[in-house]
Amino acid sequence: MSISSAPDDQPTVSESPLAFATANKLVNRLCAVVFLEWLGAGALLPLLPIYLRDRGASTTLVGATMASFFLAGLLCQFPAGKLSDKFGRKPVLVGGLLAYALASLAYLLPMSTYSFLVLRFIQGGAAGSVEVASLALLSSAIPIARRGSASSKIYSAQFSGIAIGPLLGTIAGIAHMGLLFIITAVLCGVAAIPVLTSSTIDAHDARDQPTGKLEKIKATPALVGAILAAVALGTVFGAYESCWSLLLHSRGATIVEIGLSWTFFSVPYVVFVRAGGWAADKYDRRYLALGGLTFAMVFCALWPYINSLYFLVAGGFIEAIGSSMALPSIQGLLTQQRKTEELGRVQGLYSTGQTAAIALSASFAGALFGMNRAFPFVITAAIGSVLLLFVALKWRSVIGKASDLPGQAAAVG
């Protein structure tokens, strides 16, 4: 019998009112942690390349330094997930936040320009570790019937920081970069406080015996499909990282207009991802994920053929609706019917797949843009669409509605 999923503000029958309130408190704490971290990280993004150039870094070194952030995420996210499964999410969260804070302060020290590459690598690994541990902790605490809405809050907090942070950095200006590094370190340090002091986080943290051996993860269709969906989305994001600003510049956009386009792209992830979370708990997650990602692929292929600068600047808002609506559904499919001690590694696999796709796509998209402005967008959209076909094949036998999973119950009230 199909039973409706619990809304975000109501517990399932299997949850006591106390367990429901405790789990929601944990989600709110994680949202604060993620928001503070990305508020500080986002403040550095617009000005960091200029700061590095002013300190004597070559253009090549600046590019390598910015790319090292993604490389670190690629190398560190799965190990961070494994550590969180074995020793708990809390040590990984605190370690990641403090590592990001210390690396931010280290930019103020007199050092060679090549040291910037190492510091950015540390920040990338730290940010990736915090993301993996946060989502693993959330999945450990929230029943699958409410997991879409809960994960959407985390994404909303993350992209709120990403959207607001660059505005703060722009206001501060390059002359006050030292202050921004200090503020970033302070924000990450403050974010670590609720992790260290929260009994709620302690209560939901998963720990295996440090001497025990973790079971191998079974590659289920739900898991494989979710990772392929992450790769498809990462492929498109990589093209945007390298070529979106170049496309706008080729259409005559000013620096302000280019910056606004990135802000417009971020807003749906703050707003519509919450609607996506609600829908993921109520409807078939497979259709929501595939529909949202297909919407994103279509827009990616169309961008180079749109001549209106105003639509290009504001149109990212429309394109991002699809992927923002899809994210909570992908998270639900990724983590459904998974043991608590697997969730860190599962999140690590997901994040590693997406980060690898972003890095690889970004690396060849620039060269494709040099050949033809349409190539990076059309080719990555085509690759992403093919990947989505494989996702659909993997998910065809997967239970799509959370309420249809064994052991799920209706909402109280």
pLDDT of res. 385: 96
Q: What are phi and psi of 12, to 5 degrees?
A: -80, 165
Query: How far, in Å, CA of 394 to CA of 290, rounded?
Result: 12
CA distances in angstroms from 262 to 2, 164, 248, 320, 330, listed in the order given: 41, 11, 11, 11, 24
Per-residue pLDDT tens listing for the chain (413 residues): 233 344 455 555 456 677 778 888 888 889 889 998 888 888 887 678 778 878 888 877 877 787 788 889 889 999 999 998 888 899 999 999 999 999 999 999 988 888 989 999 999 999 999 989 998 888 888 888 888 888 888 888 888 888 788 778 777 777 788 888 999 999 999 999 988 888 878 877 765 445 467 788 888 999 999 999 999 999 998 888 778 878 887 888 776 777 677 777 778 788 888 889 999 999 999 999 999 999 999 999 999 998 888 888 777 788 888 888 899 999 999 988 888 888 899 999 998 999 889 888 887 887 888 889 899 999 999 999 999 999 999 999 999 998 888 765 433 33
Transcribe 273-312 into DSSP letters.
HHHHHHHHHHS-HHHHHHHHHHHHHHHHHHGGG---HHHH
pLDDT of res. 41: 84
Give, to the nearest 10 degrees, the angle between helix 17-44 and helix 177-197: 160
pLDDT of res. 174: 75
CA 149, 154, 156: angle at the middle one, nearest 5? 90
CB 178 within 8 A of CB 27: no
Residue 65 identity (one-letter amino acid):
T
pLDDT of res. 307: 86
- Rounded to two decimals, the pTM is 0.80
CB 328 within 8 A of CB 276: yes
Transcribe 142-197 into DSSP letters.
S-GGGHHHHHHHHHHHHHHHHHHHHHHHHHH-GGGHHHHHHHHHHHHHHHHHHHHH
Q: Record the tokens describing residue 35, joined without a space.
A: 């928001």
pLDDT of res. 318: 82
pLDDT of res. 374: 92
Look at residue 360 and give its three-state secondary structure. Answer: helix
pLDDT of res. 410: 39
Ordered by where they begin, the domains of the chain are: 9-213 (1.20.1250.20), 215-398 (1.20.1250.20)
pLDDT of res. 194: 85
